[in-house]
A and B are shown apart, each in its own frame.
Chain A
Amino acid sequence: GENVEQHPSTLSVQEGDSAVIKCTYSDSASNYFPWYKQELGKGPQLIIDIRSNVGEKKDQRIAVTLNKTAKHFSLHITETQPEDSAVYFCAAKNTGNQFYFGTGTSLTVIP
């Protein structure tokens, strides 16, 4: 099956700085890569996604990049705000419709 690794496990940044979270995956057939934000006591919420035929996607302060050759993808958050503080998960979906999640990154934005 697929194996998704995520780094770092914790990340602290000053408000206004950028945050980068990186993930690698093992199954070259994986074709869809969503990112989720999870706040305390809630389920994960989709924030951005990318398909394997695209190298980069941006939505306001959030961007995701995908390198299929190296099998890694990254989440970039610019101009961070305190409300960005949460746990972020990357995921990879294989051709069998299963989603495999990373172990999460706890992001703290310091005002």
Chain B
Amino acid sequence: DTGVSQNPRHKITKRGQNVTFRCDPISEHNRLYWYRQTLGQGPEFLTYFQNEAQLEKSRLLSDRFSAERPKGSFSTLEIQRTEQGDSAMYLCASSRPNSPLHFGNGTRLTVT
């Protein structure tokens, strides 16, 4: 169990640019979640995959956000035309059915 890995750890980008984050879940976990966390708040649900299928998306996930999980392994979260309000910590978590979430250490995005 090597844990959930997220890359990059930090990303600074200018407003209007596109960014992509990667998450490598624990290998035997078929569920993968993306959350967003801002300062002083708990993680907010963005989207969830079971294997390669994206089963649920939050209303927080605007059209500028897209997530993929090809072949049910790693996942990417892309934000197009970034805005300053997108600055946050983006957390990935994975789990088996009926088991707790295991989080990565997140990608901190700063949009200038």
The distance in angstroms between the C-alpha atoms of A79 and B43, with both chains bound, is 28
Q: Is the CB of A43 within 8 A of B45?
A: no
Are A104 and B102 touching (Cβ within 8 A)?
Answer: no
Once the chains bind, are B48 and A98 in contact (CB under 8 Å)?
Answer: yes
Establish whether residues A97 and B31, one from each chain, have CB atoms under 8 Å apart when the complex forms.
Answer: yes
Residue in chain A with minimal CB distance to B56: A98
Mark B86-102 against chain A: 1 for CB-CB distance below 8 A, else 0.
00000101000010111
Interface residues of B in 37-73 (CB under 8 A from A): 40-45, 48, 55-56
The answer for the CA separation of A93 and B102 in the assembled complex, in Å, is 14
Tier of interface size on chain A: 20 to 34
| B43:A44 contact, CB within 8 angstroms | yes
Interface residues of B, count at CB 8 A? 23
Quick check: A43 and B4 within 8 Å, CB to CB? yes
Q: Does A42 contact B (CB under 8 A)?
A: yes
Is the CB–CB distance between A43 and B42 below 8 Å? no
A89 touches B101 (CB 8 A): no
Q: Contacts A42-B105, A43-B91, A96-B56 hold; do A34 and B100 have CB atoms under 8 A apart?
A: yes
Q: Which residue of A lies closest to B98 (CB)?
A: A32
Contact call B45/A100, Cβ cutoff below 8 A? yes
Q: A43-B4, A43-B91, A96-B56 are in contact. Are A101 and B43 (CB under 8 A)?
A: yes
Cβ A44 vs Cβ B56 within 8 A: no
Check: A45 CB closer than 8 A to any chain B CB.
yes
Given A97-B48, A98-B56, are A44 and B103 neighbors across the interface (CB < 8 Å)? yes
Q: Which of B40, B42, B101, B105 has the most CB of A within 10 A?
A: B42
Q: Is the CB of B100 within 8 A of A45?
A: no
In the complex, which of the residues A46, A96, A103 contacts B101, with contact meaning CB atoms closer than 8 Å?
A46
Contact A49 B105 (CB under 8 A): no
Question: What are some 14 contacts across the A-B interface (CB < 8 A)?
Answer: A4-B42, A6-B42, A32-B98, A34-B100, A36-B103, A42-B106, A43-B104, A43-B106, A89-B43, A98-B48, A98-B56, A100-B45, A103-B41, A104-B41
